[in-house]
């Protein structure tokens, strides 16, 4: 009889865990994350006709001059979000491009009050990290870890810190990231970088794979391990094929540039083939259950097309002139395509109030007309769709995002 209560308790706990898992599974939904204006917004694809938009990360305190109420998250975020793979040892954590210290403490005059906080456990702690990638817990709380290349703040930002943006992990848990650089077509200084986990899983060592890219967009990877990097300032997508550096010794030189570079080819445009009207590729994402890609072009014209594994045009998804200068994209679990729009001034190409849109598909796979789900955004860029169960967050309790007055984001 001694073991009966233990067995009964075990059975009850097992039943409760099953119920919790079942409830979690039923309630899980797509969360569409979009970095804009240093915020990280979350659109909740919970069955509503238009997904409600809430604030997942609020970059600054309501009163930057005081230490009264800390913001949720409190980080300046950009680009795409990436979860660490299991072998990386970060237990469900994720990272995203972060430039909080520079913007809150160096570029702000006066610096925000929280810049003086040195106690790491304080909710106001900013740290003194160069632009790079911040690591977060499933709750959206910064772990105080920051991944970046060095900068001593005494000179202009070096390559690696100029404009960090995208991320991806490969099967070996290596972290591939891009630095957009200054975006100059005549003097390209964009970079593709790989960070190595290291024994401590700290991702403190790295190699530059390429230092001469033309305003590189966020990298993506196919099933064979090839890395694709849009270069909009050169009107092409570059494909990098293995081998990639495996350790810091593969770039043992002052520039940290890989000694044996990967094979580099042009994926798009393919000579002699129709591009479907797209001339300046900026972002790409896999088409679900295929080896195809959705690729967008922000200007000349603004368009979104589908291409096959070899870069051949397949079909148009959003006709030329319909999207308002699309940039970041991702795909939901039901196949819905979500994309951010810069909404540039057609004459000056200055940024105006951006937006978020989605394209649903019918039962036959044909795209519907796009639907706008977010307006008056400040330079929206990265888009990431994640199952809500991957976070330890009750999204229904997050504050709703507030639409800006159009005058605050450049007009519509």
Is residue 247, in this structure, part of any structural domain at all? yes
Q: Rounded mean pLDDT of 321-338?
A: 98
In a domain, 232, yes or no: yes
Residue 22, pLDDT > 80, answer no
Backbone phi, psi, residue 22, to 5°: -60, -45
Q: Residue 296: its pLDDT value, please?
A: 99
Residue 85 tokens, joined: 């793979």
Q: Give me the chain's average pLDDT, please.
A: 93
Whether residue 270 contacts residue 224, with contact meaning beta carbons closer than 8 Å, is answered with no
Q: Is the pLDDT of residue 112 over 60?
A: yes
* Structural domain contains residue 17: no
Residue pair 114/104 in contact (Cβ under 8 Å)? The answer is yes
Band of pLDDT at residue 400, cut at 50, 70 and 90 = very high
Pair of tokens at residue 316: 């148009």
Query: Long-range contacts: 182-190, Cβ < 8 Å, 24+?
Result: 183/215, 183/233, 184/215, 184/233, 185/214, 185/215, 185/233, 185/234, 188/212, 188/213, 188/214, 188/215, 188/233, 188/234, 189/159, 189/162, 190/214, 190/215, 190/216, 190/231, 190/233
Bridge-based pairing of strands 283-286 and 263-268 is unpaired
Residue 269: count of CB within 10 angstroms of its CB: 17
Q: What is the pLDDT of residue 4?
A: 41
pLDDT score for 265: 98
Average pLDDT of span 396-410: 93
Q: What is the mean pLDDT of residues 337-341?
A: 99
**Is residue 284 in a domain?**
yes
Q: For residue 202, what pLDDT is reported?
A: 97
Q: Give yes or no for residue 11 having a pLDDT over 50.
A: no
- Give tens-digit pLDDT for 345-395: 999 999 999 999 999 999 999 999 999 999 999 999 999 999 999 999 999
Classified as helix, coil or strand, 355 is strand
Taking residues 26-31, report their average pLDDT: 85
Residue 297: inside a domain: yes
Omega before 314 within 30 of 0, i.e. cis: no
At 49 the pLDDT is 85
- What pLDDT was estimated at residue 17? 43
pLDDT for 36 equals: 98
What confidence tier does 13 reach under pLDDT thresholds 50, 70, 90? very low
Residue 48's pLDDT band (cuts 50, 70, 90): confident
Report pLDDT digits (tens) over 124-145: 999 999 999 999 999 999 999 9
CATH number of the structural domain spanning residue 341: 2.120.10.30
User: Across residues 336-350, what is the average pLDDT?
Assistant: 96
Residue-wise pLDDT tens digits, 252-290? 999 999 999 999 999 999 999 999 999 999 999 999 999
Query: Residue for token digits 């305003």?
Result: 215
Q: What pLDDT shows up at residue 184?
A: 82
pTM: 0.93
Token pair for 320: 């030329």
| Any domain includes 259 | yes
Per-residue pLDDT averaged across 285-312, rounded? 98
Q: Residue 47 has what pLDDT?
A: 85
Q: Which two tokens stand for residue 409?
A: 């984001």
Residue 3 maps to a domain = no
pLDDT digits (tens, 9 = 90+) for 207-255: 999 999 999 999 999 999 999 999 999 999 999 999 999 999 999 999 9
Number of domains in the chain: 1
Asked if residue 23 belongs to a domain, the reply is no
The pLDDT value given to residue 20:
41
**Segment 193-212 mean pLDDT:** 98
pLDDT at 24 over 90: no
Q: Which domain holds residue 256?
A: 29-408
């Amino acid at each position: 009889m001694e073991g009966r209560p233990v067995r009964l308790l075990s059975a009850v706990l097992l039943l409760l865990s099953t119920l919790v898992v079942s409830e979690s599974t039923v309630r899980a939904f797509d969360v569409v994350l979009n970095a804009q204006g240093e915020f990280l917004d979350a659109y909740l694809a919970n069955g509503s006709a238009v997904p409600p938009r809430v604030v997942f990360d609020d970059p600054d305190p309501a009163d930057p001059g005081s230490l009264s109420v800390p913001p949720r998250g409190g980080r300046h975020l950009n680009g795409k979000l990436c979860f660490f793979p299991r072998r990386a040892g970060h237990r469900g954590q994720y990272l995203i491009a972060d430039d909080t210290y520079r913007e809150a403490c160096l570029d702000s005059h006066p610096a925000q009050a929280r810049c003086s906080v040195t106690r790491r456990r304080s909710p106001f702690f900013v740290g003194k990290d160069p632009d790079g990638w911040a690591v977060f817990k499933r709750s959206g709380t910064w772990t105080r870890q920051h991944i970046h290349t060095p900068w001593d703040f005494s000179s202009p930002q070096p390559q690696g810190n100029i404009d960090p943006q995208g991320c991806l992990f490969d099967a070996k848990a290596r972290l591939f990231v891009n630095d957009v650089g200054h975006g100059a077509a005549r003097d390209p200084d964009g970079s593709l970088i790989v960070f190595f986990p290291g024994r401590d899983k700290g991702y403190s060592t790295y190699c530059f794979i390429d230092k001469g890219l033309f305003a590189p967009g966020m990298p993506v990877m196919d099933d064979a391990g090839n890395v694709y990097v849009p270069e909009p300032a050169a009107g092409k997508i570059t494909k990098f094929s293995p081998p990639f550096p495996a350790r810091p010794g593969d770039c043992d030189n002052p520039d940290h540039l890989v000694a044996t570079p990967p094979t580099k080819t042009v994926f798009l445009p393919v000579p002699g083939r129709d591009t479907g009207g797209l001339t300046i590729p900026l972002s790409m994402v896999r088409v679900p259950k295929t080896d195809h890609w959705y690729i967008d072009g922000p200007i000349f014209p603004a368009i979104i097309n589908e291409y096959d594994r070899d870069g051949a045009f397949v079909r148009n998804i959003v006709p030329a002139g319909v999207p308002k200068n699309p940039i970041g994209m991702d795909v939901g679990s039901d196949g819905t395509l979500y994309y951010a729009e810069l909404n540039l001034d057609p004459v000056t190409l200055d940024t105006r109030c951006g937006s978020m849109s989605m394209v649903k598909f019918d039962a036959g796979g044909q795209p519907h007309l796009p639907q706008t789900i977010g307006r008056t955004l400040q330079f929206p860029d990265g888009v990431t769709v994640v199952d809500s169960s991957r976070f330890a967050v009750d999204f229904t309790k997050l504050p709703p995002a507030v639409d800006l007055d159009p005058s605050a984001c450049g007009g519509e």
